[in-house]
Each structure stands twice: as structure tokens, then as C-alpha cells.
Amino acid sequence: MPIVTIQITREGSGPGRKAATAEEKAALIKGSSQLLLDVLNKPLDATFVVIEEVEMENFGWGGLPVAERRKKQEVSSK
């Protein structure tokens, strides 16, 4: 009966993409269900997976929206 919830920012993993692709999502579903089978012996059919895509401006880290945080880190690493 495991439930795996994966929250990711809505952004592409490569040029020209605006979000995770259906293939990437299927890989997350497959991989996390397999993990529960491998580690805790939970049958694949007993695991639910939910992927939640969070808009960039809705995700904060270090007290800043994540886009601002990244800009700041790029500047500081120059």
C-alpha cells in the first residue's frame, strides 16, 4: 500500500522543453515502484505514485523563489 509522491518544478530537462516529458514521468513511476519492491518487497500493484509539478515561482529555497536563487548562485560563482 505504499504511496510515493514526487514533487518537481515544472521545467524542461533539456532545450525546448517546458516540463518533464511523459517518458520521464513514466520512468519516475516505474523506478519508484520498483524501489519499493526491491527494498520492502511491496508488489508493484500495491504502490501508487503521484507526480506533482510545482510552478517555478511557487517553489522556494533559501528564502527565495527558486529562479532568483539560481541567478544569485550564478553571480556568486563568477
Contacting residue, 15, 16, 18, 45, with a second copy by CB under 8 A: 45
For a second copy, the closer CB: 52 or 78: 52
Sign of CA dihedral 46, 29, 56, 18: negative
User: Hey, what's the cell of 49?
Assistant: 505514485
How many other CB atoms are there within 10 angstroms of residue 65's CB atom? 15
Contacting residue, 15, 16, 18, 41, with a second copy by CB under 8 A: 41
Alpha-carbon distance of 67 to 36, in angstroms, equals 33
68 three-class SS? helix
Contacting residue, 16, 18, 40, 75, with a second copy by CB under 8 A: 40
Mark whether 2 is an active-site residue. yes
> Which residues are marked as active site?
2
Residues near a second copy (CB under 8 A): 1-9, 13, 20, 22, 24-36, 38-42, 44-45, 47-54, 57-66, 68
